[in-house]
Amino acid sequence: MPSKRLSVVVTRRLPDVVETRLKELFDVTLRDADTPMSRSELVDAVQKADVLVPTVTDQIDAGLIGQAGDQLKLIANYGAGFDHIDVSTARSRGILVSNTPGVVTEDTADMVMALMLGVTRRLQEGLSVMQRDEWDGWAPTAFLGGRLGGRRLGILGMGRIGQAVARRAQAFGMQIHYHNRKRLRPEVEDGLEATFWESLDQMVARMDVISVNCPSTPSTYHLLNARRLRLMKPSAVIVNTSRGEVIDENALTRMLKAGELAGAGLDVYEHGLRGNPELRNMSNVVMLPHMGSATREGRVEMGEKVIINVKTFADGHRPPDQVVPAML
């Protein structure tokens, strides 16, 4: 590596402590506005930077990578997911890609439970009544929801986050079930008191709550399609804090409207930022603006991982969180 300080371009505002440390270590260009870069700004960034630090809001596709200068050698993603980066094209250009795995596990699992409770205990309806100043007082049959204890939870994707959800759900007295590409080791499965289902169809048909915790890949696109959603019980609830494309959102919307599903808690959406507009008018749907990892602690830890990846690369070594072919 050259002796000069690396040129690092950061595409979004990061926590102050992270930006301060980046300035101490590198020749860094920070973003003043807390908005995504335009396409032309991204092109300018990849043409001048040694290291690009993007986020999930940046599309680092083949076209953009094709315009990168020869000096760009690392894309140090601020975030665990990397489906917005064309890793294969980057590798073909000799550009390494890193991410920040493991940091958001506990925060996202917390949000899964919050959404479960939000839907099953009708928090959205209660909040709306209070905000409209329409509450007339307590009544024995008002806002009746259901308890989580005793319900069957089906976790789709039993990686770090799925297992963290399972541990929390155990404390609520839920029965843990899961479907995963690979079955967990017996000791892990036993510790979680989890039942493995090889057939996703059979699992979704028997669960009271489904939590989506798998990554977005070609094989998980619309994994919960219209056919599979119709297998679920009308009393079932679905929660998604992973990637919107895993669920056929239009099919989900139709079923919620028809009363063929009891409710949904969504932190991610299939098409853009807002999700199907019809979802916003449903009292049995809790919608959040991708808040799953939004804790101060988590966002700082993400930044610290980015710094470690870039500093390790600057020292002539491969980043510890390099995205490798086995992850794709």
State the CATH architecture for 7-103+295-327.
3-Layer(aba) Sandwich (3.40)
Q: What whole-number distance in Å separates Cα of residue 16 and Cα of residue 26? A: 15
How would residue 328 be classed by pLDDT, with cut points 50, 70 and 90?
very low
* Whole-number pLDDT of residue 3: 56
Q: How far apart, in Å, do the first and last CA atoms of the chain sit?
A: 27
Condensed to tens digits (0 to 9), the pLDDT of residues 66-82 reads 999 999 999 999 998 89
Q: What whole-number distance in Å separates Cα of residue 299 and Cα of residue 310? A: 17
* Whole-number pLDDT of residue 326: 52
- Coil vs helix vs strand at 222: coil
Report field, pTM of the whole predicted structure over 0.85: yes
CA distances from residue 108 to 113, 165, 208 in whole angstroms, order as listed:
9, 8, 20
Q: What whole-number distance in Å separates Cα of residue 199 and Cα of residue 187? A: 22
* Whole-number pLDDT of residue 325: 62
* Whole-number pLDDT of residue 171: 97
Mean pLDDT confidence for 26-48: 96
Condensed to tens digits (0 to 9), the pLDDT of residues 283-319 reads 999 999 999 999 999 999 999 999 999 999 999 999 9
Q: Same CATH fold, 105-287 and 7-103+295-327? A: yes
Query: What superfamily would CATH give domain 105-287?
Result: NAD(P)-binding Rossmann-like Domain (3.40.50.720)
Beta bridge partners of 287: 266
The domain ranges of the chain are 7-103+295-327, 105-287
Q: What whole-number distance in Å separates Cα of residue 209 and Cα of residue 153? A: 5
Q: Are 310 and 76 in contact, with CB atoms under 8 Å apart? A: yes
What angle (nearest 5°) sits at the alpha carbon of residue 93, between those of residues 90 and 96?
50
Mean pLDDT confidence for 192-207: 98
Beta bridge partners of 29: 9
* Whole-number pLDDT of residue 4: 79
Q: Are 64 and 90 in contact, with CB atoms under 8 Å apart? A: no
Length of the chain: 328
Q: Is the pLDDT of residue 1 over 50?
A: no
CB neighbour list of residue 312: distance below 8 Å, 6 or more residues apart: 318, 319, 320
Which amino acid is it at 93? Answer: R
Condensed to tens digits (0 to 9), the pLDDT of residues 150-173 reads 999 999 999 999 999 999 999 999
Q: Are 207 and 152 in contact, with CB atoms under 8 Å apart? A: yes
Extract the runs of DSSP E, i.e. beta strands, from 99-224.
Answer: 152-156, 175-179, 194-196, 209-212
Condensed to tens digits (0 to 9), the pLDDT of residues 111-156 reads 999 999 999 999 999 999 999 999 999 999 999 999 999 999 999 9
Beta bridge partners of 76: 98
